[in-house]
Amino acid sequence: MYRYDEFDHEFVQARVAQFRDQIERRLAGDITEDQFRPLRLMNGVYLQLHAYMLRVAIPYGTLSSRQLRMLAHIARTYDRGYGHFTTRQNIQFHWPALSDIPAALADLASAEMHALQTSGNCIRNISADHFAGAAADEAADPRPYAEILRQWSSVHPEFTYLPRKFKIAFTGSERDRAAIQTYDIGLHLKKDAAGELGFAVWVGGGQGRTPILAKKIRDFLPQQHLLSYITAIIRVYNLSGRRDNKWKARIKILVHETGAEEFARQVEAEWEALKDSELKLPQADIDAINAYFAPPSLPERPEGDEAVRLARLDSKSFADWLNQNVTTHRHPDYAAVTISLKNIGETPGDISDSQMDAVADIAEKYAFDEARVSHEQNLVLPHVARADLKTVYDALVEIGLATANIDLISDIIACPGLDYCTLANARSIPVAQQIATRFASLERQRDIGELKLNISGCINACGHHHVGHIGILGVEKKGAELYQVTLGGSADENASIGDIIGRGFGPDEIVDAIETIVETYLAIRSDAGERFIDAYRRLGPAPFKEALYAGEAKAA
Amino acid sequence: MKILTANRLTDGECLWYARGGWAETIDDAEIAADKEAEARLEDIGKAAFAANFVLDVAMVDIELVDGVIRPTRLRERIRAAGPTVRNDLGKQARSLAA
Ligand code: HEM
Ligand code: SF4
């Protein structure tokens, strides 16, 4: 794992001291809210409905046990005993007092954590595949490159006042688990025919009120050119991106209006001047960062096969969890475990302080001291010996985190919505809870198969509704909540934006509507192997529209 | 009918203007029934913002239901009570404990 060097330590400490001073001056009334607001946002502090909110960065979603315990400590000491993991692999605390935030940030800094670049028009915390370094299908671990970009972009003066926020994501596999096509820049680490590492570069994706998928502007960028090429992209954006209209300021609008080909041409022209400059990465630097991410040495544990076989026979619930929450590892004696934070009827992505502590203990004992946050708002233990899976499962059962529902309909992504968020039009969490409860039966969920259901409480799309197989968007109509449904979205390597299916549904209709959609799919799928998204792509919206609205048309 | 609300600077707590001061619950909020009273409350809000006591100052629409203040928008009802998914948090938790 990456460890802070002396510079990082000093930098983060200095930032805590600076922000402490700014908060003190704000509380003393020496600076106004208008002066303070941009400063607090640069340090991850928002005001929500009930209180302030502190968003803590989790670079590329990677946490050590010590860091996870620190998050538990923050939840316990400065908040209400829980945290909320977000679709950008960060964590939010929903109740801190402004006056406590300097102490919280100082504590976080002691565990090499901070809230920098979790807000504001800068390069935001960079995300990556949550199975990075563990996935069997990966060309290489993309996190060292994410870390190189992080070091280079942190408070980079040229990129601190961009036209709008800027989000970058990495994957190291063909199978995209990091939703890179929904990002301002998505980078796919891969090998060329000669075995050299480089990136496919995707630009101009984004969600919000204008969802657009990124365009691939380069199929292979040799790794040493990472910084120069990204700089070229952001320079073109910084120069030509719109600053007159917040809703047109993201790079997706620039790429869309300029055209991907012309945009790529401008980037290449800019890059010509930069590519042999000091931004070219020396192999020694890449190697040095790579060394921080060296995988743990994984001892042979061949007894795992037999242990898993026996435990599977012994316990149906363990077998279910194994089928649903355990993923193939590049090492045959190991597995990656996903810990669902989607217990039926609870808030997606929420976790208590004691659960965080317990997961940290499990990670320390059985997973080489490492945990990950996934953009689906779950936790991951990337390296667990198969021989230890049953022990890990039992420990998760103890703390109520053994729900076997990964990628199923109850593994819902949901933003905080109107229960917490000032920008919300409708609640997200209760809708997620009710849908999960309706489909609580694991047998039924498994019969339905892979189904990504995503919910946002307003058009900002923090809950990724545009790219859910089923997306739900909360709007406000005549003072009441209304839920609009989109179908056919996807955030993987075959990304697509969902289509709005028709008129919206009230809070007491939405769960039935979702059930109607699911039952329609079950009735029309070609066989049990055809996933919801595949059936939708084959048949289009018509059967679903018919099932949802036909009665109305006839009545009208 | 409107009332005046804001969040306290130090901790973000929701406040309503009531009986000459700021209260942590909505129940006794001062109700403006006409333009003049609204203007007076707006001025009070502006002054409290300028004095760095509160932020996110707003006038919100309400109705009286059996003599009890009920904001028209769900958003304001949630601010007054707490998250609907966590009855143990926010103002609602305090009134339960009391
Ligand atoms: C105080 C709470 C929050 C505020 C004020 C907020 C605000 C926003 C805004 C204004 C946008 C639209 C940006 C644009 O289209 O240019 C946005 C997008 C987004 N937010 Fe949030 N958000 C909040 C919480 C969250 C949470 C909890 C998550 C994760 C669950 C999240 C993840 C995202 C993502 C993934 C996007 C869409 C990606 C994109 O930028 O295109 N945000 N947010
Ligand atoms: S989608 Fe809207 S309601 Fe949900 S967290 Fe984002 S800004 Fe808030």
Beta-carbon separation of A33 and B72 below 8 A: no
Strand partners, B58: B5
CA–CA dist A487, A499 (Å, integer): 5
Asked, colleague to colleague, whether A6-110 and A413-555 share their fold, the answer is no
CA of A317, closest CA in chain B: separation in Å? 28
- Closest to B73 (Cβ–Cβ): which among A27, A429, A479? A479
- Alpha-carbon separation of residue A21 from A150, A210, B53 (angstroms): 26, 39, 18
On whether the A413-555 domain is CATH 3.30.413.10, my answer is yes
Nearest CA to ligand 2 atom 6: A462
Closest CA to A243 of A165, A162, A158, A156: A162
CA of A241, closest CA in chain B: separation in Å? 30
Nearest CA in chain A to B10: A98
Residue to test with chain A: of B25, B26, B46, B52, most A Cβ within 10 A? B52
Paired sense of beta strands A453-456 and A413-414, if any: parallel
- A259-305 pLDDT tens trace: 999 999 999 999 999 999 989 999 999 999 999 999 999 999 999 99
Contacts of A99 (CB under 8 A, 6+ apart): A23, A27, B10, B11
Positive/negative CA dihedral, A359, A360, A366, A372: positive
pLDDT at A123: 86
CA of A428, closest CA in chain B: separation in Å? 10
The pTM (predicted TM-score) of the whole model is: 0.94
CA of A16 to the centre of ligand 2 (A): 28
User: b vs e for A137-164, b when ≥16 Cβ sit within 10 Å of the residue's Cβ?
Assistant: ebbbbbbbbbbbbbbbbbeeeebeebbb
Q: Which residues of A touch B52 (CB under 8 A)?
A: 26, 29, 32-33
- CA angle (B70, B97, A434) in 5-degree steps: 60
CA of A459 to the centre of ligand 1 (A): 9
Nearest ligand 1 atom to the CA of A46 is 1
Interface of A with B (CB under 8 A): 26-27, 29, 32-33, 47-52, 80, 95, 97-99, 347, 418-420, 422, 424, 427, 429-430, 433, 479-481
Per-residue confidence at A554, pLDDT binned at 50, 70, 90?
A: low
Boundaries of every domain in chain A: 6-110, 142-292, 304-398, 413-555
Closest ligand to the CA of B75: 2
CA of B75 to the centre of ligand 2 (A): 13
3-state DSSP assignment of residue A184: coil
Beta-carbon separation of B14 and A97 below 8 A: no
- Interface pTM (ipTM) of the complex? 0.95
Give the orientation angle of helix A542-555 with respect to helix A532-539, to 10 degrees. 70
Interface contacts (A, B; CB < 8 Å): 71
pLDDT at A507: 97
- A315-327 pLDDT tens trace: 999 999 999 999 9
**pLDDT of A411 above 70:** yes
pLDDT at A71: 98
CA of B77, closest CA in chain A: separation in Å? 10
CA of A176, closest CA in chain B: separation in Å? 33
User: b vs e for A120-129, b when ≥16 Cβ sit within 10 Å of the residue's Cβ?
Assistant: bbbbbbbbbb
CA–CA dist A279, A281 (Å, integer): 6
CA–CA dist A520, A512 (Å, integer): 12
Nearest ligand 1 atom to the CA of A206 is 41
Beta-carbon separation of B12 and A99 below 8 A: no
**pLDDT of A475 above 90:** yes
CATH number of A304-398: 3.90.480.20
The two three-digit tokens of residue A290, written as one number: 């790579």
- Closest to A80 (Cβ–Cβ): which among B9, B11, B89? B89
Nearest CA in chain A to B51: A29
Q: Which residues of A touch B73 (CB under 8 A)?
A: 479
Paired sense of beta strands A453-456 and A370-373, if any: unpaired
Q: What is the DSSP letter of A505?
A: B
What topology does CATH give the domain A142-292? Sulfite Reductase Hemoprotein; domain 1 (3.30.413)
Percentage of chain A lying above the pLDDT 70 cut = 99
Closest ligand to the CA of A428: 2
**pLDDT of A195 above 60:** yes
- A78-94 pLDDT tens trace: 999 999 999 989 999 99
What topology does CATH give the domain A6-110? Sulfite Reductase Hemoprotein; domain 2 (3.90.480)
Residue to test with chain B: of A41, A418, A476, A483, most B Cβ within 10 A? A418
- B14-48 pLDDT tens trace: 999 998 999 999 999 999 999 999 999 999 999 99
- A476-500 pLDDT tens trace: 998 899 999 999 999 999 999 999 9
What are the pocket residues of ligand 1 if the criterion is a CB atom closer than 6 Å to any ligand atom?
A 46, 48, 53, 86-88, 92, 164, 167, 206-208, 250, 415-416, 421, 423, 460-463
Q: Which residues of B touch A417 (CB under 8 A)?
A: none
